[in-house]
Homo-oligomer: A and B are copies of this chain.
Amino acid sequence: AGGSTWVAVVAAAGLALALETLPTVLRWLWVRRRRRPRREVLFFPSQVTCTEALLRSPGATPSGCPCSLPHGESSLSRLLSALLAARVSLELCLFAFSSPQLGRAVQLLHQRGVRVRVVTDCDYMALNGSQIGLLRKAGIQVRHDQDLGYMHHKFAIVDRRVLITGSLNWTTQAIQNNRENVLIVEDEEYVRLFLEEFERIWEEFDPTRFSFFPQKERAR
């Protein structure tokens, strides 16, 4: 009977330990099985590829584009895909925006009912091929600064879930010729911090607060 008492004690201890650790083990397994959040780094210059398939409107013919450009993936096509994944909202904070492909992507999202808001820099709104006028004409809200400093951010927030940020201005010159980087990060904390920055700037650039024709003293 002494032996069986000892065995019972060990059994109880073993079971208790097993039961105690069970939630921990289950939690660990759950954490391991969760979908890995999106994390991508794009480097530029981007290979020049055809992006028509990505930018085709819903009504267009589904056949492939017959142009002579390569039709594979590129840094630009991956950036376009990340943007075109938006279903609800898109915040853009861009120093310079003149890339026609990226402009078309933003217009497509607006047509699909995505809530697009754009913040940009007043000095670069009128650069060659600027998309800003086209976006406004299409009914997209754009706000810009009125001061000496540059609005030099280059970030986008997709569906309040994915942050896209880096050194890249959205110009063809930068996409095709410059050494640039763009991070695509699905991360709550980063998205929260950059959304807060976006909302601060959005309020600060409220056009009802503008002083028209300010006497700028630009120290260039």
Contact = CB atoms under 8 A, between A and B. Distances in A.
A49 B25 CA distance: 49
Interface in A159-192: 165-168, 173-174, 176-181, 183, 189-190
Contact of A7 (B11, B21, B25): B11
A84 interface: no
Q: How many copies of this chain does one complex carry?
A: 2
20 contacts: A3-B4, A11-B14, A14-B14, A27-B28, A28-B28, A41-B190, A145-B179, A149-B176, A149-B177, A149-B179, A150-B179, A152-B168, A152-B179, A153-B167, A153-B181, A154-B167, A155-B167, A155-B181, A179-B201, A181-B194
Nearest to A31: B28
Interface residues of A, number: 52
Contacts of A173: 149
B165 A152 contact: no
A197 B181 contact: yes
Contact of A167 (B14, B145, B167, B193): B167
A199 to B, nearest CB: 13
Contact of A11 (B11, B39, B151): B11
Contacts of A166: 165-167
Contacts of A41: 190, 193-194
A7 B178 CA distance: 73
Interface centre among A21, A155, A168 (most CB of B within 10 A): A21
Nearest to A197: B43
Contact of A18 (B17, B45, B179): B17
